[in-house]
Structure 1
């Protein structure tokens, strides 16, 4: 591979213009030039990791106003290590038993409306989640020992009991509070710590534009140091969560830029300017427009909602997204925001000149779709109501589902059951083409199976798309994040 070549193109992977903010699935963010230089320089030397993290903890405290800080290998690792600190401290007897927490205090309180996919990082330590909605729920949950309280910062407004009230109740009992603020802009001091949290988690590879594989755990020096003792290179549960010396230096460099050099007003103006460029180009297409969505709550970046006349342009948001993704230049739009006639653009990642390219690409797709005929929808070629045995073959292993299907014209509905997985079935039949969707809630996620296939000789078969959606991310990316399998189904009974 040539040193001056695009390494992704050399592998046959096409980069794209990112209109999806800082999602890890799409590469997070681009490291600052200062960070790239610092990481390269740090890679030229050896240091002791304990000595480095001690010095970094002190510097993080100076930069952020927190009592202490820790660089982790991503924010989910910070959640896991913060949980380990609250459950096991640096007691070797407990640390080496994780995630088996029998005999330890392992109950973690999380408000029901703040459950999130990454609270699996709490459960992987061996903890049980106790959901609350109200102050009365909190009091009942505290009737038994509790290891910690975890909050999802950007969802706090959905809960009746706020951080200050929770802190007033649990702090006298010695129960720590950790807030996941990974998708937020870091402030000095962190408002979550000011309001009563003991620990707060941020991403180093999102808005900070540090190394993509980095996270931050800030707060109580005692708990942050305990988190470090549970982390790599120490031989405890966090040993797989290795953070490099280069990542540590990269995060510190990103924070120094964030607090000491960043032009916040100029950055904000660029976001609005880029959105105006995109809106102007889309607005040249009849019956299409762009509307700025002002940021609310902890979100600080404005976005642009592009809308079009669905009857004049017979394509939905996901179809438009796919077409600009297949185009040149390749453009990634947000699947979570896609509707029948809208999609949303986030300008945070746009590089100079890219706003014009995005606007032109979206406008070109809409113009091409103008007057096109919708995809044909054929009447069902067969009646498939009844009971079916459906087998899914995964990359390793298989699973059998028992389906009871109802059919009304092309629409399919019903119920399915399988070991540890039961829930509704929905679907559609067009000719001999069948699509089925199976979902079931588990903890903070919704398990998603999507079956696409054909019916031949009374037997169904095809491809299964496997994933899990969260309350915050319900688009096709998450619903297909676990890859594919094959499936076949036969009538029973």
Structure 2
């Protein structure tokens, strides 16, 4: 089946990298696609739609309330602004110019990451003054506590595979400090799969992507304490206007949140699919393929492809050739410099894995 992108004259893309914004994040279910179509062809009072979406977000996450956003990145900026301004319209209209206000946002150094954009920039867009603490691979509780002042607006925690996975203070420490000093804790859980975990832990605001684990349209959502969600919605009279979420995205997000069963592949299905791929790739000289669980603890089973010297090509070169082909094939390449590429089964469409094996085989044969 020819996609609309191919009709536009763009080449076919096979996404074996993951729920990546650069590749359009997710393919949505028929139910979500129907909601997008219906919303695009009708009208609604946006304030009412946003409030209604908040009730659906709350029911799915166990939070007191919720707020839809254009993306998780927009959610970071909006959540930050909310902790600085509350619902005060005069302050909302000042953002991101927050000089003289309680505007400091404390984040551990190993979590101030780049995910396609810099998290610090998203905080600054919301008026936050970034206060990074500790070292890239070691943060003590004292580093955080010593940085808290009467100018601290929020504590910020990043739960992501991009963040340093060792030496950081855990969430429960952040929750305790937030409670002790009566400071809101924002958790960026953009790609996480459990939409209730961090609310149960005591976070005040949690940021999620609607287009990653949820497999909804390009969107994001916030969940948390009722007062903070009211302040987040109020930002649509300020910086949120430039990040406004459309009726189609909200409708699609609601549909994705309401789906009783996920159309995502189970862990068992992922293992089976990747085992078949590994069996085929292990027949090729210079490749060693095995199953590998997600490094951040999510229920994702990827195929790890180790490109050895006998292949006559490096992992980076193989990656480049795959991406320049037609179809363009994008593997997960965070560790290409040490010879490792990964195939994420979640975004693969039917037949994609066979095409990947075929194209890799062709590239290796051409190099001989």
* Counterpart Cα distance in 2 of 1:309 and 1:134: 40
Report if aligned partners of 1:282, 1:360 keep a CA contact under 8 Å in 2: no
* Counterpart Cα distance in 2 of 1:222 and 1:321: 47
CA RMSD of aligned residues (A): 2.0
Q: Is 1:368 matched with 2:366?
A: yes
Q: Is 1:141 matched with 2:138?
A: no
Q: Is 1:118 matched with 2:119?
A: yes
Choose between structure 1 and 2: higher strand proportion: 1
> Between Structure 1 and Structure 2, whose CA radius of gyration is higher?
1
Residue in 1 aligned with 2:203? 197
Report if aligned partners of 2:101, 2:151 keep a CA contact under 8 Å in 1: no
Q: How do 1:460-475 and structure 2 match up within 5 A?
A: none
* Counterpart Cα distance in 1 of 2:64 and 2:253: 17
TM superposition shift of 1:144 = 4.0
Choose between structure 1 and 2: higher helix proportion: 2
Residue in 1 aligned with 2:132? 131
Residue in 2 aligned with 1:105? 102
* Counterpart Cα distance in 1 of 2:60 and 2:178: 28
* Counterpart Cα distance in 1 of 2:3 and 2:170: 48
Q: Give me the TM-score of the superposition, normalised by structure 1.
A: 0.69
Q: Is 1:40 matched with 2:37?
A: yes
Q: Deviations over 1:277-327 (max 9, x none)?
A: 2212211212322111123443221111112331x3332112111222233
Count, aligned residues: 357
* Counterpart Cα distance in 1 of 2:164 and 2:202: 14
* Counterpart Cα distance in 1 of 2:17 and 2:94: 40
TM superposition shift of 1:104 = 0.4
* Structure 1: 5+ residue stretches without partners: 371-493
Residue in 2 aligned with 1:298? 297
* Counterpart Cα distance in 1 of 2:192 and 2:322: 28
Q: Is 1:346 matched with 2:344?
A: yes
Residue in 2 aligned with 1:359? 357
Match of 1:253 among 252, 255, 264: 255
* Structure 2: 5+ residue stretches without partners: 134-138
* Counterpart Cα distance in 2 of 1:27 and 1:246: 16
Q: How do 1:177-188 and structure 2 match up within 5 A?
A: 177-187=185-195
* Counterpart Cα distance in 1 of 2:181 and 2:66: 24
Residue in 1 aligned with 2:19? 22
* Counterpart Cα distance in 2 of 1:160 and 1:345: 28
Q: How do 1:192-341 and structure 2 match up within 5 A?
A: 192-212=198-218, 214-231=219-236, 234=237, 236-257=238-259, 260-262=260-262, 267-310=266-309, 312-339=310-337, 341=339
Matched residue SS, 2:120: helix
Report if aligned partners of 2:61, 2:199 keep a CA contact under 8 Å in 1: no
TM superposition shift of 1:88 = 0.6
TM superposition shift of 1:348 = 1.0
TM superposition shift of 1:86 = 0.3
TM superposition shift of 1:157 = 4.8
Runs of 4+ aligned structure 1 residues displaced above 4 Å come to: none
Report if aligned partners of 2:316, 2:339 keep a CA contact under 8 Å in 1: no
TM superposition shift of 1:275 = 1.0
TM superposition shift of 1:22 = 0.8
TM superposition shift of 1:263 = 6.5
Q: How do 1:407-422 and structure 2 match up within 5 A?
A: none
TM superposition shift of 1:5 = 6.3
Residue in 2 aligned with 1:162? 170
* Counterpart Cα distance in 2 of 1:157 and 1:340: 19
Report if aligned partners of 1:305, 1:343 keep a CA contact under 8 Å in 2: yes
Q: Give me the TM-score of the superposition, normalised by structure 2.
A: 0.91
* Counterpart Cα distance in 2 of 1:280 and 1:160: 38
Q: Deviations over 1:186-240 (max 9, x none)?
A: 33xx21121121011110011211112x001011111011111102xx3x12211
